[in-house]
Structure 1
Amino acid sequence: MEGKKIKDSQVTTIQQMTHQDANFAGNVHGGVVMKHIDSTAGIVATRHACSNVVTASIDRLDFYSPVYVGDLLILKAGVNMVGKTSMEVGVRVEAQNYITGETRTTALAYLTYVALDTEGKPAQVPPLIFETEEEIRRSTEAKARRQMRLAERIREYKAKAIQPDSKNV
């Protein structure tokens, strides 16, 4: 399978936040931001895999500053790492006051997607072609996050196995 450059699937989306996205104080709900993160990252994953994808996990989502009604929500996303059938997509979220031009980092997120074939089964994804040291660094960091996710999953399974009363946890 031929590799793909990271820049070939990167996207930036921009959406103006309105009153329907916010609470009574004018702060945009975190869930609204999360939906835009998942949608933007899904576009990146689909472009890279050239197939349908599903969100497997949101590994990390940290909010740093609020988004207000009227702000432009700017989401910049790209593939950080690929496995056999999965890929990590990183998303940087910025809020921009379109009147003053002030831009602030609002959130960072890492999501894992699995590519699907036409029958809904996991499908192989193209390898990444790295062009910069920054891309290599991001991939190395993504591999470390993947190892942490796998170790945590093993810990969770072991904890559930030794707790007989946790049937539906």
Structure 2
Amino acid sequence: MYKTVKQSRIEISQLMLPSHTNFGGKIHGGYILSLMDQIAFSCASKHSGSYSVTASVDKVNFLNSIDVGELVTMKASVNFVGNSSMVIGIRVEAENIQTGKTKHCNSSYFTMVAVDKKSKPVTVPGLHILNNEELRRYLKAIQRAEESKIRNEVFSDKNFSHEKYTEELKNYRVKLDL
């Protein structure tokens, strides 16, 4: 069985309230991450037809702050599927509802795993790609997964040796007394 990207796409919007702010008066990044996790869950569960859990979150760069009173819209879609895993791409935008001006606040990729009632992974439907944009996202997800494997191998405790990197530390603000 295959599903199109459109069949699982989710979009949510929420008005940002004063209760969502950090100490600097901007919307708290942790609150935005929580919303992102919720939409990733919804998108993955819609695609898989099963409860889905967060396995990992790719790097999240906060590009623009979000102000109280702005309308935040999150768009999520399935970019890649494995056997039981799905990569959900999420884009976060904020709109000043008085001026209509929008800004891109962040994007990230959540890897979700579909599970059964015993928390065992279940097979998810394949992805039916219909256009070049969906194909680009699928291929980029494969590339990010390959890069992650390499990074995990390089920095695993088994393979990592600080001696290899100590010389490079001359370029950093660190003092070693080993």
- Deviation sequence 1:56-111 (CA, Å, 0-9, x none): 00012111101000111100110000011101000000000111111100011111
Runs of 4 or more, structure 1, over 6 Å off, are: 160-163
Is 1:5 aligned to residue 4 of structure 2?
yes
Distance in 1 between residues matched to 2:105 and 2:118, nearest whole Å = 38
- Deviation sequence 1:86-143 (CA, Å, 0-9, x none): 0100000000011111110001111100110222101111110001111001000010
Q: Paired residue for 1:67?
A: 66
The one-letter code of the counterpart of 1:37 is M
- Deviation sequence 1:134-167 (CA, Å, 0-9, x none): 100100001000111222222233447879xxxx
Q: Paired residue for 1:143?
A: 142
Map of 1:128-167 to 2, 5 A cutoff? 128-159=127-158
Query: Number of aligned pairs?
Result: 162
Q: Paired residue for 2:115?
A: 116
The one-letter code of the counterpart of 2:141 is A
Seq. identity, %: 36
Q: Paired residue for 1:26?
A: 25
Q: Paired residue for 1:55?
A: 54
The one-letter code of the counterpart of 1:31 is G
Corresponding residue SS for 1:62: coil
Q: Paired residue for 1:76?
A: 75
Gaps of 5+ in 2: 163-178
Q: Paired residue for 2:166?
A: none
Distance in 2 between residues matched to 1:73 and 1:83, nearest whole Å = 30
- Per mean C-alpha deviation after superposition, the further-off stretch among 15-24 and 84-93 is 15-24
Gaps of 5+ in 1: 164-169
Question: Structure 1-normalised TM-score?
Answer: 0.90
Q: Paired residue for 1:166?
A: none
Question: Structure 2-normalised TM-score?
Answer: 0.86
Give yes or no for contact 1:60–1:111 (8 Å, CA) kept in 2: no
The one-letter code of the counterpart of 1:146 is A
